[in-house]
Structure 1
């Protein structure tokens, strides 16, 4: 399994506040499925980070792009493959 980091930069704070509960519910569903390694907001309130566990970039991209924050365009997505050096 490969890890992918999604940086979700807030672009529309008002809309982001409106969809926050749906965004959190979406991520919780993926946590329950074992598809998220870590997640959380940036302390400067500029957005957040999700580390997906996926078999391919395409799978991670599909999960990230189906996040309500991306679908509703309240956040901008940057997705990168990531390797942890901690074993």
Structure 2
């Protein structure tokens, strides 16, 4: 299954963003349970982060990203990329 990465930048104030973090974490746990091997985190300098996950296609990856509470609630702008692994 191909890997995808959503690189995001926060676009709302921290209190607004933080109210959706528990839902985002639960969403990622659901992705893990469904076999997408998701990992999520934020940059140490704050203001953005990344979601790494497997999906069957770019279309499925886009649908996964659209279901993220941080995206659905307009807390981040993002770029979605397929990640082509060359070494493990």
Q: TM-score, normalised by structure 1?
A: 0.91
Q: CA separation in 1, counterparts of 2:44 and 2:83?
A: 21
Indicate yes or no: 2:2 matched with 1:2. Answer: yes
Give 5+ residue unaligned stretches, structure 1.
Answer: none
Q: What is the aligned partner in structure 1 of residue 41 from structure 2?
A: 40
Query: Could you say which residue in structure 2 is the equivalent of 1:27?
Result: 28
Q: Secondary structure at the match of 1:73?
A: coil
Structure 2 alignment gaps of length 5 or more: none
Quick one: distance in 2 between partners of 1:54 and 1:84? 14
Total equivalences in the alignment: 87
Higher strand fraction: Structure 1 or Structure 2? 1
What's the RMSD between the two structures over aligned residues? 1.2
Residues in 1 aligned to 2:83 and 2:74: alpha-carbon distance in whole angstroms:
24
> 2:45 and 2:4 mapped to 1: Cα distance?
22
Q: Tell me, in whole angstroms, the C-alpha distance in 1 between the residues paired with 2:16 and 2:27.
A: 16
Provide closer, same or farther for how the CA distance between residues 23 and 37 of structure 1 changes in structure 2, counting only shifts above 3 A.
Answer: closer
